[in-house]
Each structure stands twice: as structure tokens, then as C-alpha cells.
Structure 1
Amino acid sequence: MGILGTILIGLLVGVVARILKPGENSMGWIMTILLGIGGSVVATYGGQALGIYRAGQAAGFIGAVVGAIILLIVFGYLKKP
């Protein structure tokens, strides 16, 4: 999967992560989607580099969602005063 495919999956992952993450989201949809793209990129290339899964496997999507949720939580804690 190329970088464009990863970005498109990241868009979907950002939306799914926003739906799955409990609690109030203090950021807009665009920021959530950008964090989803970031989580997707990190999980896709990190998981493949570690040999957890290969390109095209469903585990990559699940890993990307988990990575995006983690980024949303971390961003939420960093944003609090």
C-alpha cells in the first residue's frame, strides 16, 4: 500500500477512532482525521517493520485504529491545562 492509500485509510481510521473513543472530544473533526492519519501511518509502518503483520492484512486496519485512539488520548491529555 502506498502513502496515498495509507492516508485514505487514515481518514477512515480517524472517523472510526472518534466514534470509538469514549468521552468528550474537545477537538474538531479535521484534527481528529489528522490524528487518524498519523495513527494509521505509525501503526502501518511500525507494525510492518516489527513483523506483526504484512501489508493488506486486516490487522493493519485494527492496529491503525488502536494507534489513532492512542494518539487521540495522548493529544487530549497534552491539550488540558
Structure 2
Amino acid sequence: MLGTLIVGLLVGLAARQMHPAGKVVSLPAALVLGMAGAAAAFYGGRALHLFIDGQMSGWLAAIVGASVLVGLWGALRPRHG
């Protein structure tokens, strides 16, 4: 659990830095969204029996889930100005 959240923090931060539209997501939002996306993808994949604990695909799902959630938030969030 802790490892998944740490991966989410790191990937959320990286996704914020690499977003094509610039830094459109605040730092706290990127960290929280990264953790939420990683946890949802990791535990969702386990619930669907796509992988078991210790498999590399679980970590890949956490990375993809975190980056997708931060990217979608930045793309769908209304911009001011």
C-alpha cells in the first residue's frame, strides 16, 4: 500500500511537469491525483484478477493510472484567463 502511494506521488509530480499544456495542475492536486490514480489502477487490477501482488504489471498499472488521472484532470479542468 505504501509503495503504491509513493509511486503515485512521484508519477503525479512527473505528470505535472510533463503535461503538454504546461503546469495546469497545482502541485497538491497533482500529488493527490497521482496517489488516487495509482491506488485505483493497482487495486482495481487486483480486484479484476489481472495480476497478483508482486507482479510487475501491478506497478505498471499504478504508473499508468496516476499519469492518466493527472493528465485528464489537466485537460478537462476549465482554464481562466
Q: Do both share a fold (TM > 0.5)?
A: yes
**TM-score class normalised by the smaller sequence:** 0.7 to 0.9
* Higher CA-based Rg: 2
- Aligned in 2, Cα 1:31/1:57: closer, same or farther, shift over 3 Å? same
Aligned length: 79
| Aligned position for 2:36 | 38
- SS of 1:66's equivalent in the other structure is helix
Unaligned runs of 5+ in 1: none
Unaligned runs of 5+ in 2: none
| Aligned position for 2:47 | 49
Regions of 4+ moved over 2 Å = 3-6, 15-23
Q: How does 1:1-81 map to 2 (within 5 A)?
A: 3-80=1-78
Task: State the percentage of identical aligned residues.
Answer: 38
Task: Return the TM-score normalized by structure 1.
Answer: 0.74
| Pairwise CA RMSD | 2.0
Task: Return the TM-score normalized by structure 2.
Answer: 0.74
Per-residue CA distance 1:4-26 (angstroms, 9 max, x = gap)? 33322221222333345433131
